[in-house]
Structure 1
Amino acid sequence: MPAPVLSLKARALRYLSLREHSRLELGRKLARYAEEGDDVEALLDFLEKNNWLSQERFAESLIHRKASRFGNSRVMAELQSHGVSSEALADIKAGLADSETARAVEVWRRKFGTVAIDAAGRAKQMRFLLQRGFSQRAARVAMQGAPDDDDM
């Protein structure tokens, strides 16, 4: 017996029950299944009105998943690619800036743990942190080694 065909609303709720989605991302996923006469934008408006779809919750969820491994620029680029508004991005960036150095130190400590002795090793560590989206300032601080607890 074949599985029943889900309505667009049921499919949207199923996606949202698995994890938070941005409006743009959910619209793309639902557009694949939209048939003649289905209005995806009206469904997205309905979901937002009932607070089942929320850009704020999506941004918080993405930050929670990514911030411990990536720097500000990488997290901000991913939020921007998901269609988060520029006003929200400014607020998020200000909140992430406070913890970027500490996150860079933690990522560096998990990956390397010791300060590189030669220039090639330092370059490798710097490239790693920069590719993860950390600023040069945060990467330099992280590569100096783990600061003592008294300094923090």
Structure 2
Amino acid sequence: MFSEQDPAQALFGAALELLSRREHSRLELRQKLADKFPGADFDALFTRLQELNYQSDQRFAEVFARSRVQRGQGPLRIRRELQQRGIGSDLIASALEQADTDWFALAAELLQRKFRGAVSDALPREQQLKERARRSRYLAYRGFSSDAIHWALDAADAFEDGGSP
């Protein structure tokens, strides 16, 4: 069928092998294949892959966003990671919208799971502030906005006091 010497077919086969394992963005594929195939015509490869619907940055972004939401990551971190993988801002916004997540509720759920309740009033004021700051840093690292962090901290306090978040 194809000779082993056909570089375009070898490039296509290598790309299919990567895509058979998981979705990849165009940038990821290019980075993974560039060393193995220097000087390859990546534009032709991506055109062919997209015509066959084997590679789609939109599909990659949606799958990536869903998986990160399931891991408890917030929109800021997901956005940054997608940008690092070469996804455009319009596709990122679409993927985050498709994830259909209440970021405030997710932040509160993570806080509840990780810390099991509110900051104790029995602690001295300085320790209370340090503990709130620690919890705030935890959520910030996971990629939540300051509004979601404050809401989650307040919700944890309200829940501990007998209210509902």
TM bracket (short chain): 0.7 to 0.9
Q: Distance in 2 between matches of 1:76 and 1:119?
A: 29
1:103 is aligned to 2:106 = yes
Q: C-alpha distance in 2, partners of 1:35/1:122?
A: 51
Q: Counterparts of 1:1-152 in structure 2 under 5 Å? A: 7-35=10-38, 38-68=40-70, 69-94=72-97, 99-117=102-120, 118-143=128-153, 144-145=155-156
Alpha-carbon distance between aligned partners in 2 of 1:147 and 1:12, rounded to the nearest angstrom: 50
3-state SS of the aligned residue for 2:24? Answer: coil
Residues matched between the structures, number: 147
More displaced stretch, 11-20 vs 63-72: 63-72
1:136 partner letter: S
Q: Secondary structure at the match of 1:7?
A: helix
Shift of 1:94: 4.5
Percent of pairs with identical residues: 35
Q: Distance in 2 between matches of 1:112 and 1:121?
A: 10
Provide, for residues 45-66 of structure 1, a one-character-per-residue CA deviation record: whole Å limited to 9, x for no partner.
2101111001111011111111
Deviation at 1:147, TM superposition (A): 5.4
Contact 2:57–2:87 under 8 Å retained in 1 = yes
Provide Cα deviations, 1:79-119, integer angstroms capped at 9, x if missing partner.
11111122222333445685111111121122112111211
Q: Report the RMSD for the aligned CA atoms in angstroms.
A: 2.7
Going from structure 1 to structure 2, the CA distance change for 1:47 and 1:95 (only over 3 Å counts) comes to closer
How far apart are the structure 2 equivalents of 1:94 and 1:35?
37
TM-score between the two structures when normalised by the length of structure 1: 0.83
Q: Which runs of 4+ in 1 moved over 4 A?
A: 93-98
Describe the shift of the 1:147–1:9 C-alpha distance in structure 2 as closer, same or farther (beyond 3 A).
farther
How has the CA–CA distance of structure 1 residues 129 and 7 changed in structure 2, closer, same or farther, with 3 Å as cutoff? same
Consecutive unaligned residues of structure 1, counting only runs of 5 or more, are none
Q: Secondary structure at the match of 2:131?
A: helix
Deviation at 1:41, TM superposition (A): 2.3
> Taking structure 2 as the reference length, what is the TM-score of the superposition?
0.77
Q: 1 CA distance for matches of 2:37 and 2:23?
A: 20
